[in-house]
Amino acid sequence: PSLVLALSSLLGALALLQLSLYLRVPSRYGKHEERLCRPRGRLPARCAWFLQELPSFLVPALLLALRSPPRLEPLGCRLLCCLFCWHYFYRTFIYPFFTRGRPFPLQLLFFGTLFCIYNGFLQGYYLIYCAEYPNDWCTDIRFTSGLLLFLLGMGINIHSDLLLRQLRKPGEVTYKIPQGGLFTYVSGANYFGEIVEWFGFAIATWSLPAFAFAFFTLCCIGPRAYHHHRYYLKTFTDYPKSRKALIPFIF
Ligand code: NDX
């Protein structure tokens, strides 16, 4: 428990660091990268996203395989571990192979991979070695409402990433105005979905590591949604004025 507390607190501190670094200046990848044509020091997006996200899937999966005897009772605990791995299975083995994104900076890839090892270990270690849930956790209101939010968020995230992908033909690297789905209301629809998803996961697990990760996600991609929004307003004169940055009708 003290290891989990220490790692979760560090994750919370990293979230605040992230917020202070990237609130005014966006993290330099994708549409916010300054020197767009410099091929050195960058890796094709497919390869970069695969490598970066792989530890988030692999580390909990390895922890699970190495745990002897296997401890994933009750059912609630097993389901929660599967939810985490399910998201990262999608992010590692499906998302990268369809992306039409620009090459990704190696430096950020390095830090992103470290982050995914860290978080994959924290969430997996907690769920596999530390979490204690009553046998009827699956019927607890926290589990059911959290699971619903998780699924809703994941649906919005995947659908929004798909809409972004469809804006480009293969080989194209230009930016267009996203249309449809939740993009009708916000510029960062994919980010909104991801944030809802991880807060849903935090409620379903009712655990410090998951709340720390949801908070990190908010501090990481919340500011990015704001910078995307400003970019669109600056770049496209016909950008819909009623569209918000991250939260429909509010912000
Ligand atoms: N990866 C999470 N911090 C991050 C990578 C960067 O999964 O040192 C966090 C993740 C990492 C970060 C990660 C952790 C913190 C790091 C940071 C770098 C520095 C930072 C390590 C690990 C750090 C400290 C100091 C604290 C240690 O060309 P393109 O690529 O722009 O194309 C884009 C395209 N697109 C468009 N196409 C046409 N027209 C338009 N208008 C378009 N707009 C976009 O769509 C892409 O191909 C694609 C998506 O682009 P974008 O910019 O909307 O999303 P993106 O940021 O690339 O995220 C992709 C998905 C998305 O679903 C998002 O929710 C999820 O990944 N994500 C992303 C970041 C973090 C995260 C989830 C999480 O925290 N849960």
pLDDT of residue 74: 64
pLDDT of residue 71: 60
pLDDT of residue 77: 73
Give the pairing of strands 42-43 and 104-105.
Answer: antiparallel
Q: Note whether 129 and 157 are same-domain residues.
A: no
21 Cα nearest atom in ligand 1: 25
pLDDT of residue 67: 77
Q: Note whether 239 and 195 are same-domain residues.
A: yes
Residue 7 counted as domain residue:
no
The list of the chain residues with pLDDT below 50 reads none
Give distance in angstroms: CA of 118 to centre of ligand 1: 18
pLDDT of residue 135: 86
Residue 115 counted as domain residue:
yes
- Give the SS3 label for residue 244: strand
- Give the SS3 label for residue 42: strand
pLDDT of residue 201: 98
Give distance in angstroms: CA of 160 to centre of ligand 1: 13
Residue 36 counted as domain residue:
no
pLDDT of residue 112: 97
Look at the chain and report how many structural domains it folds into.
2
Q: Note whether 149 and 231 are same-domain residues.
A: yes
Residue 110 counted as domain residue:
yes
pLDDT, one tens digit per residue, over 215-235 is 999 999 999 999 999 999 999
* Spatial separation of the C-alpha atoms in residues 43 and 171, rounded to whole Å: 15
Q: Domain limits at 74? A: 41-136
Domain end residue (candidates: 86, 115, 136): 136
pLDDT of residue 81: 87
Q: Note whether 174 and 223 are same-domain residues.
A: yes
* Spatial separation of the C-alpha atoms in residues 70 and 222, rounded to whole Å: 37
Which residues does a 6 A CB cutoff place in the pocket of ligand 1? 14, 17-18, 21, 27, 30-31, 45, 53, 99-102, 108, 111-112, 115-116, 157, 161, 164, 167-168, 173, 175-176, 178, 190-191, 194, 217, 220-221, 224
pLDDT of residue 39: 64
Q: Which residue's CA is the nearest one to ligand 1's atom 73?
A: 217
